[in-house]
Structure 1
Amino acid sequence: MKKIYLIRHCEAEGQPSKAQLTAKGYNQAVELAEFFSTFNIDRIISSPFTRAIQSIQPLAEKIDIEIETDSRLTERVLSNIDLDDWLEKLKLTFDHLDLKYVGGESSLEAIQRIVEVVEEVFSGETENTIIVTHGNLMSQLINHYHKDFGFDEWQNLSNPDVFLLKNDNNNVLFERLWGEI
């Protein structure tokens, strides 16, 4: 059975695409590498954002696997303008998947792009793949397969966080491997 290890990046200095990991985040990346040291990983695909790549770099170097980047794994843009009530607006997008704010992307649009990546991996050659992405996009993906994973579960994600996705006869199962919800 093919496995995807879905990782939310480690603690970062901010939200911009070039934001780097904090000192704590670098330590978390080393912990992730240690966590995965006994796993048989065939492929690593990451968001091109700096914090995502830095989160998986220690493991990639340890197991000598090149990190592939895929722009479909970038964080979802809620809006391109500052929203004072962004948290409430984000919460609404979990219940109304087609809701879209100025310059942003709807949950449906975000889900579509990450599901494309996941389906390509499940239909591809590799058995054990790591996908490194961002909290909101990760939550939207899990919600796509399991509707009971919503806004509250997103709020309870950690940096980093790790979920295992398995495709069992077109039924995608998930299990949290890092932290607890």
Structure 2
Amino acid sequence: MKNIYIIRHCEAEGQEPEAPLTNNGLTQAADVAAFFEQRKVDRIISSPFKRAIQTIQPLANEVNIEIETNQQLAERVLSSIKMADWFEKLRATFEDFDLAYEGGESSREAATRILGVVDDVLKSDAENTILVTHGGLMSLLLKHYNKNFGFEQWRTLSNPDIYILKQNQHISLERVWRS
């Protein structure tokens, strides 16, 4: 049996890669560490973005596990240009998985990235792995395993949020964080 915990980072000051957690986000990171007190963790893999690493650092320190960073867990780039109507543009990418904007990646391309990480983890020896990522990318993984997960469900994700993907005879997915 494999358990993969998928974590959306805690509250951050911005969207750029070096945006740190807010003071509230730092408190949330301590709450995430407390959430795992009674759970076994063998491996931690995180987006290289500062807010993702800060989200899991308290737990990594507590369980003395080195955080592996993986660029494939970085947030999806919707576009390289600023779009005033980004919210509607994002909604459209949930309906058309091949839609890509200038300098951005399609939902299919982004989903392939995170699914590659999950596949590697499922093939590894680790039984209990944590993946720390971002809401956009996380939502595409959730949609892969739950076809009913879409734009509206993405909007309901919290910072932080935690789902567990379990592989036994089949793969199941469950939200385990209660904010």
Equivalent residue for 2:28? 28
Alignment of 1:28-47 (within 5 A): 28-47=28-47
Q: Output the CA distance in 2 between the equivalents of 1:90 and 1:179.
A: 26
Q: Output the CA distance in 2 between the equivalents of 1:179 and 1:39.
A: 16
Indicate the percent of aligned positions where both proteins have the same amino acid. Answer: 57
Q: Output the CA distance in 1 between the equivalents of 2:171 and 2:80.
A: 32
Q: Output the CA distance in 1 between the equivalents of 2:177 and 2:149.
A: 16
Q: Output the CA distance in 2 between the equivalents of 1:159 and 1:19.
A: 14
Structure 1 position 144, deviation (Å): 1.1
Unaligned runs of 5+ in 1: none
C-alpha distance after superposition, 1:60-80 (max 9, x if no partner): 000100000000000000001
Letter in 2 for 1:174: L
Equivalent residue for 1:11? 11
Using the size of structure 2 for normalisation, the TM-score is 0.98
How large is the RMSD of aligned CA atoms in angstroms?
0.9
Structure 1 position 145, deviation (Å): 1.5
Kept in 2: contact 1:158–1:179 (CA 8 A): no
Kept in 2: contact 1:163–1:174 (CA 8 A): yes
Alignment of 1:132-171 (within 5 A): 132-169=132-169, 171=170
**Secondary structure, counterpart of 2:72 in structure 1:** helix
Unaligned runs of 5+ in 2: none
Equivalent residue for 2:114? 114
Q: Output the CA distance in 1 between the equivalents of 2:144 and 2:31.
A: 29
Runs of 4+ deviating beyond 2 Å: none
Q: How many residues align?
A: 179
C-alpha distance after superposition, 1:121-179 (max 9, x if no partner): 0111000000000001000011012110111110000000000001233x421100113
